[in-house]
Structure 1
Amino acid sequence: MTGPAQDLPAADAPDVPGDDVPHAGALLTVTGADRPGVTAQLFTALAGVPALEVVDAEQVVVHGQLVLGVVVHEHGGTDDAALVARLAPLAAEVGTATGVAVLVEPAAGATGLGLDGVRRHHVIVLGRPVPPDAVGGAARAIADVGGNIDAIRRLSDYPVTSFELTVSGAEAGALRAALGAVAAATGADIAVEQVGLARRSKRLIVLDVDSTLVRGEVIDELAARAGRAAEVARITAAAMNGELDFEQSLRARVAALAGLPVGVLDEVREHLVLTPGARTLIRTLQRLGFRCGIVSGGFTQITDPLAASLGLDFAAANTLEVADGVLTGGLVGEIVDRPGKARALARFAAEHGIPLEQTVAVGDGANDLDMLTTAGLGIAFNAKPFVREQAHTALNQPYLDAVLQVLGFTRDEVLDAG
């Protein structure tokens, strides 16, 4: 048969074997020193029990210690206690043979993970280090909003330590608010993302430049060379805090650069310092097939060569007007301001055939907000409080590659991609 697959009408849908058949349930929990063959021996033993079906299993090894949970159903059975009694000798034999402990207890009504329609989220806790009160506070906050921690795994131990908690049962808004308070109190970063394919389907990232991709503000460096540093710094701070219209503040700052030799732009560009982790972030995402670029309220004379040196796919910024080898104090072309950044993101995504929900934006200032909220995932990076509050999530670590952990990549995966 050719053509697109179609949903079957309910009456014609194939039956799921055993859906309406009564069953008894049991949970087997294996703990002890890990070694090859433990899991194989347990499941081989279970295979010898008639009418038994595995409906859930999860295993983790923490510093050489194994924890394995297996839920089984006995179809046609109705007595959990009787099933537990039949499995107890089997569990004891596996434990003796492998040197682990195997506990068997009733698990009536257990279903596979994620099959009950309960909303689920990933909660990522990051820090350098992660203090115990951050994890403890997060756990209490999750419980307070009706959530349950289903699983915990470590994502990275360098340059930041990060853990991913899989949480079920909590509403997203309440969860973010509760965890935001914990982050503020403990100094850790705590991000929340919905579980699902969308998290790993991201395909394009745009980065702000000043104070995000690179340290400091380029226009402040130019102003210092023009002898107008204090004046421009005051305007920059007010603009980043959302106290001034960005275009007006930009034109006022650029006007202060009038008469500066154009060669100074090269000097400033050569002294740019990338934020720690910037190269790792870009290199890793490029090798994973991401389109990567920059959208800046700064200047193309700086950003275009920077994008070329990093092998980026696109760049958008403002252009300083130059006449007779000096800056005129004016700008030419379309202004890349707060809405302009969002338009640039949408334009780049359309050019590469990528839906906006599969994009990521990272920035620190008020002029990044439209871009951050337009992207599928907007990350406020070492941003002002009011920017953090409006972005999807926030990072206050000094390392830009911590973005990879927010996207769900482990350090091992980053090293493999490198």
Structure 2
Amino acid sequence: MSAPHNPSAGGPPAVSGTDTATLLVKIFGRDQPGLTAGLFDALAAYGVEVIDIEQVVTRGRITLCALVTAPARGPAGGGDAEGQLRATVHSWAESFRLQAEIISGTGDNPARRAGRSHVTVLGSPLTAETTAAIAARIARCEGNIDRINRLAKYPVTAVEFDVSGVATERLRTELATEAAAREVDVAVVASGLHRRAPRLVVMDVDSTLIQDEVIELFAGHAGCEAEVAKVTAAAMRGELDFEESLHARVALLAGLDASVIDAVREQVRLTPGARTLIRTLKRLGCQVGVVSGGFTQVTDSLRDYLGLDFAAANTLEVVDGRLTGRVTGEIVDRAGKARLLRRFAEEAGVPLSRTVAIGDGANDLDMLNAAGLGVAFNAKPLVRQAAHTAVTVPFLDTVLYLLGITREEVEAADAQAQR
């Protein structure tokens, strides 16, 4: 919680060396209005300089810490300025039925070590056993937990650990193993200013942005849904070549009246949290796109409905008002999705390091690996193992927590938009 010195302010920082005497003043008890002001009013009489402050309120209980320079003088005069300060703070705290602790020491907080990461843990529920295991794994790879902050309490519990002292890639590998063993979702990203910079977020469509597999909806109208679903499942598991399976499935749609396209659009169901995810990202200045092994006849309408910046998919060929059983143009397959991610990033003016890709199937893997952060969303085992992180709860907006966006920020943005 150390505060950097501002060179423009003129003069040296409050604590220039480790031998400078300092006091850590800790207050804890029932939260009440005016406590922070009251504590610093009490300290002001001693002419101390504030080095650092941290305050947390949990279930109506406040913990307030102030790191200040040791006093050189007291308002009552005399030589024991520190003793007078201690008496003043304890008396003030007792008047509010608070507890106070004052610890003498020297210098500022130790500098955080190199290798800084944000570790986001999603649990539904998040148990003490899981939290202990994650914290122990961080310690075993010589990482230090500098701060912990809750990002959300529903629809999942999401907490974020600020960790230093271990490389991000090593920490990600270590915690992926622990997450799999504990059946919890953990994301590890490098800290830095880039985290709050505008991003490009690109999603798969079928079973990610929407709950359905579009080709199976078409197949339902052609009477071959079970056959198509079987091939789709094998392709998403990586057992079949995607392009080959696409042509085989689309061939079964030959002869369908083109009016079925409107019927399928009406059947599409957005994944819970999809609107919130997109709306919040857009308000934060991010750009959002979709790439799909499905069909432009559906993705284009989703683009317009949700206000997406980019959309790409395969196109069903229609001749004389009927589906021909073929697709036209360049096939959007596994490699094609990664190419489109790169193209969208270039058009958006966003480096790949600030891109986020979300998908569930084997044909999303190249895209997930190419992005700065690849998120496997309720994905097949092969995809969960290969992606940077996984989300196993059915709410798409939980991806926001992986980006350090709190539930309170989402709700505040919604409230502001409604005014």
Do structure 1's residue 321 and structure 2's residue 317 form an aligned pair?
Answer: yes
2:102 is matched with which residue? 104
1:241 is matched with which residue? 237
1:157 is matched with which residue? 153
2:252 is matched with which residue? 256
Letter aligned with residue 89 of structure 1: A
DSSP-derived class of the 1:354 partner: coil
Letter aligned with residue 370 of structure 1: D
What percentage of residue pairs aligned between the two structures are identical?
A: 53
Whether the 8 Å contact between 2:356 and 2:372 is mirrored in structure 1 is: yes
Once the two structures are overlaid, the 10-residue window that deviates more, 85-94 or 154-163, is 85-94
Taking a change above 3 Å as real, the CA distance of residues 98 and 228 of structure 1, as seen in their structure-2 partners, is: same
User: How far does residue 35 in structure 1 lie from its aligned partner after superposition?
Assistant: 1.0
How far apart are the structure 1 equivalents of 2:116 and 2:51? 19
Whether the 8 Å contact between 1:207 and 1:361 is mirrored in structure 2 is: yes
1:8 is matched with which residue? none
Q: Trace 1:275-354 onto structure 2 (pairs within 5 A).
A: 275-354=271-350
How far apart are the structure 2 equivalents of 1:409 and 1:368? 24
1:133 is matched with which residue? 129
How far apart are the structure 2 equivalents of 1:91 and 1:168? 33
Whether the 8 Å contact between 1:22 and 1:75 is mirrored in structure 2 is: no
Taking a change above 3 Å as real, the CA distance of residues 370 and 245 of structure 1, as seen in their structure-2 partners, is: same
How far apart are the structure 1 equivalents of 2:67 and 2:114? 19
Taking a change above 3 Å as real, the CA distance of residues 18 and 26 of structure 1, as seen in their structure-2 partners, is: closer
Do structure 1's residue 213 and structure 2's residue 209 form an aligned pair?
Answer: yes
Do structure 1's residue 36 and structure 2's residue 33 form an aligned pair?
Answer: yes
DSSP-derived class of the 2:209 partner: coil
* Counterpart pick for 1:25 among 22, 26, 41: 22
Taking a change above 3 Å as real, the CA distance of residues 254 and 23 of structure 1, as seen in their structure-2 partners, is: same
Q: Trace 1:184-195 onto structure 2 (pairs within 5 A).
A: 184-195=180-191
Q: Deviations over 1:315-369 (max 9, x none)?
A: 1001111222222221111111112112212222222222222222111111112
Q: Deviations over 1:94-146 (max 9, x none)?
A: 3123321111123434327xx44432222222223223322222222222222
How far apart are the structure 2 equivalents of 1:300 and 1:363? 18
1:225 is matched with which residue? 221
Letter aligned with residue 34 of structure 1: D
How far apart are the structure 1 equivalents of 2:381 and 2:166? 25
How far apart are the structure 1 equivalents of 2:217 and 2:17? 71
Structure 1: 5+ residue stretches without partners: 1-12, 77-81
DSSP-derived class of the 1:280 partner: helix
Whether the 8 Å contact between 1:23 and 1:75 is mirrored in structure 2 is: no
Structure 2: 5+ residue stretches without partners: 1-9, 73-79, 415-419
* Counterpart pick for 2:398 among 383, 402, 413: 402
DSSP-derived class of the 1:276 partner: coil
How far apart are the structure 2 equivalents of 1:287 and 1:248? 40
Whether the 8 Å contact between 1:121 and 1:166 is mirrored in structure 2 is: yes
Whether the 8 Å contact between 1:26 and 1:83 is mirrored in structure 2 is: no
1:64 is matched with which residue? 60
Letter aligned with residue 34 of structure 2: G
DSSP-derived class of the 1:239 partner: helix
Taking a change above 3 Å as real, the CA distance of residues 38 and 397 of structure 1, as seen in their structure-2 partners, is: same
Letter aligned with residue 93 of structure 1: S
Once the two structures are overlaid, the 10-residue window that deviates more, 346-355 or 391-400, is 346-355
How far apart are the structure 1 equivalents of 2:331 and 2:199? 27
Q: Deviations over 1:27-82 (max 9, x none)?
A: 222111111222122223333335x4332221110011001122234499xxxxx9
Q: Deviations over 1:216-271 (max 9, x none)?
A: 21112222332333332232222212222222222222222222222222211110
Letter aligned with residue 284 of structure 1: T
How far apart are the structure 2 equivalents of 1:397 and 1:84? 53
CA RMSD across the alignment: 2.5
DSSP-derived class of the 1:69 partner: strand
User: How far does residue 84 in structure 1 lie from its aligned partner after superposition?
Assistant: 6.5
How far apart are the structure 2 equivalents of 1:251 and 1:169? 51
Whether the 8 Å contact between 2:15 and 2:108 is mirrored in structure 1 is: no
1:359 is matched with which residue? 355
Do structure 1's residue 382 and structure 2's residue 378 form an aligned pair?
Answer: yes
How far apart are the structure 2 equivalents of 1:23 and 1:130? 42
Whether the 8 Å contact between 1:123 and 1:166 is mirrored in structure 2 is: yes
Do structure 1's residue 200 and structure 2's residue 196 form an aligned pair?
Answer: yes
* Segments ≥4 residues shifted beyond 6 Å: none
DSSP-derived class of the 2:208 partner: coil
2:89 is matched with which residue? 91
Whether the 8 Å contact between 1:239 and 1:245 is mirrored in structure 2 is: yes
Q: Deviations over 1:276-330 (max 9, x none)?
A: 1111111122222222221111100111112111121221001111222222221
How far apart are the structure 1 equivalents of 2:136 and 2:279? 37
Whether the 8 Å contact between 1:28 and 1:70 is mirrored in structure 2 is: yes
How far apart are the structure 2 equivalents of 1:58 and 1:411? 21
Once the two structures are overlaid, the 10-residue window that deviates more, 60-69 or 142-151, is 142-151
Letter aligned with residue 90 of structure 1: T
Do structure 1's residue 49 and structure 2's residue 53 form an aligned pair?
Answer: no
How far apart are the structure 1 equivalents of 2:17 and 2:26? 27
How far apart are the structure 1 equivalents of 2:310 and 2:173? 35
